[in-house]
């Protein structure tokens, strides 16, 4: 998944705005995690309504106050703000663990085109290998809260099973009663490998 941001700079939303520029930093931060790309703007009314929900969702999954161990989740804010000041104002209210692309980075436009982002807010959910789990999980997050992360986590785990022979699947136990539906739903999505481009 780090391949998507190879040779890019991501910024940590902390007071120092630490930049992750080196490949090993990016790899360590992004590998083996479900990645959320949040396309939004502090000025957009629908984003203003959704942002607190996304913030609560992220905090509940990554803060040790709520979780014994932080979930394997990383969120990258892809700003659609008109100015850098508006982006900064928005990010001040968001979790310190969020990452974001520098305001001037043209890669934001490429990502918006790649994932057909037209009406924010949009949350693209990616497996650790870069395949798309959901092209827009906004409604899923609103309706299911943190429960949808379990679905994504299980869908992401399917990557590990994809190399098994047919007879190996006979011994795979179901993780939950909804596991077959989840497998069906997320397996049928388009196989978009980020490293491979469009």
Sole residue written with tokens 């497998």: 183
Residue 77 CB-density burial (10 A; 0-12 exposed, 13-18 middle, 19+ buried): buried
pLDDT cut 70: percent of the chain above it:
78
The per-residue pLDDT for range 41-87, each reduced to its tens digit, is 999 999 999 999 999 999 999 987 777 777 889 999 999 999 999 99
Does residue 48 lie within any of the structural domains?
A: yes
Q: What is the extent of the structural domain holding 95?
A: 2-164
Does residue 174 lie within any of the structural domains?
A: no
Does residue 178 lie within any of the structural domains?
A: no
Sorted by sequence, the CB contacts under 8 Å of residue 28 that are 6+ apart come out as none
Q: How far is CA 31 from the centre of its chain?
A: 12
Sorted by sequence, the CB contacts under 8 Å of residue 75 that are 6+ apart come out as 35, 36, 38, 54, 58, 95, 97, 98, 99
């Amino acid at each position: 998944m780090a391949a998507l941001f190879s040779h890019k700079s991501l910024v940590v939303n902390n007071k120092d705005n630490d930049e992750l520029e080196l490949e090993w930093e990016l790899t360590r931060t992004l590998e083996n995690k479900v990645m959320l790309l949040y396309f939004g703007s502090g000025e957009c009314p629908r984003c203003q309504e959704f942002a607190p929900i996304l913030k609560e969702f992220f905090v509940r999954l990554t803060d040790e106050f709520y979780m014994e161990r932080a979930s394997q989740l990383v969120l990258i804010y892809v700003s659609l703000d008109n100015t850098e000041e508006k982006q900064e104002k928005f990010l001040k209210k968001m979790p310190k663990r969020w990452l974001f692309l520098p305001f001037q980075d043209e890669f934001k436009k490429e990502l918006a085109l790649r994932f057909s982002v037209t009406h924010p807010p949009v949350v693209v959910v990616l497996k650790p290998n870069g395949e798309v789990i959901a092209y827009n999980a906004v409604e899923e997050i609103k309706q299911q809260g943190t429960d949808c992360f379990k679905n994504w986590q299980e869908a992401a785990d399917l990557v590990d099973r994809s190399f098994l022979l047919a007879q190996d699947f006979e011994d795979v136990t179901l993780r939950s009663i909804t596991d077959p539906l989840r497998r069906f739903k997320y397996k049928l999505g388009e196989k978009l490998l980020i490293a491979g481009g469009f």
